[in-house]
Amino acid sequence: RQSRRLHGAAARRRAHRDRRYGLSVHHAAERQAGRRPVGADVADRQRAGDRERGRSQDEGTVEVLPGEYQIRDSLQHHAGGGSIDREGVHTLIEAVVLVFVVMFLFLQNIRYTIIPDHRGAGGAARHLRDAAAGGYSINMLTMFGMVLAIGILVDDAIVVVENVERIMAEEGLSPKEATRKAMSQITGAIVGITTVLAAVFVPMAFFPGSVGIIYRQFSVTMVAAIGFSALIALSLTPALCATMLKPVKAGHGHAKRGVFGWFNRGLDSTRERYTRTVGWSLKRTGRLM
């Protein structure tokens, strides 16, 4: 129990002794109903957005206030949690659909698309599991992390699938042999990019103060999901490539017609112009600097 004197009256803060909560008391310069109010902000450090917990905190605060004091809610963040949750689910669905469409546009084969796409669902499930293990609920931050993770989690699997397809198209190897050769080439790259991404998100978990409280759950779940993505890309994805992909004759892997053919020609043209521009720039580094 802790007591604080507010305008000569003692108010006990019994309901907020749990260290998971943050409580700040401040004096307001404005007046409400002709009286000078004292403001208090109560925030759940782990379960931000939990409406039921917000209501229970209001009831607990009323119990410990002196008789001459009244509590009024000037702003309730938990009141709009339902709309935030719905918007988060809609955004998550849109992200999954968009990732699938983009992968199919570039891979141009339903088998090639399914292999990385299963990582999106698996990564989302892993994200929820890590959030629950860390004591976090589904809120605005964890939903944002899940939406961002959907795009990041499929990257490693796409790299594996594309490299296997390239080797089969160029060398005519069987899916199993092409997978073995592809993994010998890109295992180090997958480990490296995973380390770089983790190095970006890990420091966010050590931010002090209120900033750290906000970003800690986002950082922890993102790093765990990224690590899980790399693990699957090095284990399950090669197995799926070796069993699900069909052999491709050497030199016939990129022959497409219709919309895909038009897209590939435009992409190849853009790649060639970019390559020429980079080569021209490297020969004139002094002038460009």
Select, from the ranges 88-97, 209-218, 233-242, the one with the highest average predicted confidence (pLDDT): 233-242
For 33, the 3-state DSSP assignment is: coil
Instruction: Provide the phi-psi class of 251: left if phi over 0, else alpha when psi is between -120 and 50, else beta.
Output: left
* Arithmetic mean of pLDDT over the chain: 72
> In angstroms, what CA-CA distances link 177 with 165, 174, 202, 214?
11, 5, 37, 47
Whether pLDDT at 14 is above 50: no
pLDDT of residue 31: 54
Task: Flag whether pLDDT at 15 surpasses 70.
Answer: no
Within 8 A by CB and 6+ apart from 78, the residues are 49, 50, 51, 53, 54, 55
State the pLDDT at residue 246: 84
Predicted local distance difference test score (pLDDT) of residue 186 = 92
| pLDDT given at position 11 | 39
What digits encode the pLDDT tens for the residues 142-180?
Answer: 677 677 777 777 788 888 988 998 898 888 888 999 999
SS3 for 252? coil
DSSP string, 125-187: HHHHHHHHHTT--S-HHHHHHHHHHHHHHTHHHHHHHHHHHHHHHHH---HHHHHHHHHHHHH
43-85 confidence digits (pLDDT tens): 554 444 444 455 555 555 555 556 566 666 655 544 444 555 6
Is pLDDT above 50 for 37? yes
Q: Quick one: pLDDT at residue 72? A: 66
Task: Dump pLDDT digits (tens) for 191-225.
Answer: 998 899 889 888 888 888 777 777 787 787 778 87
pTM assigned to the model: 0.61
pLDDT greater at residue 88 or residue 160: 160
What integer pLDDT is reported at residue 19 of this predicted model? 42
Query: What secondary structure does DSSP assign to 44-82, as a single string?
Result: ESS-TT-HHHHHHHHHHHHHHS-TT-----S--SGGGHH
- In order of 222, 252, 272, the CA distances from 256 in angstroms are 37, 9, 19
pLDDT confidence of residue 157: 84
Q: Given pLDDT bands bounded at 50, 70 and 90, which one contains residue 275?
A: very high
What is the per-residue pLDDT for 30?
Answer: 53
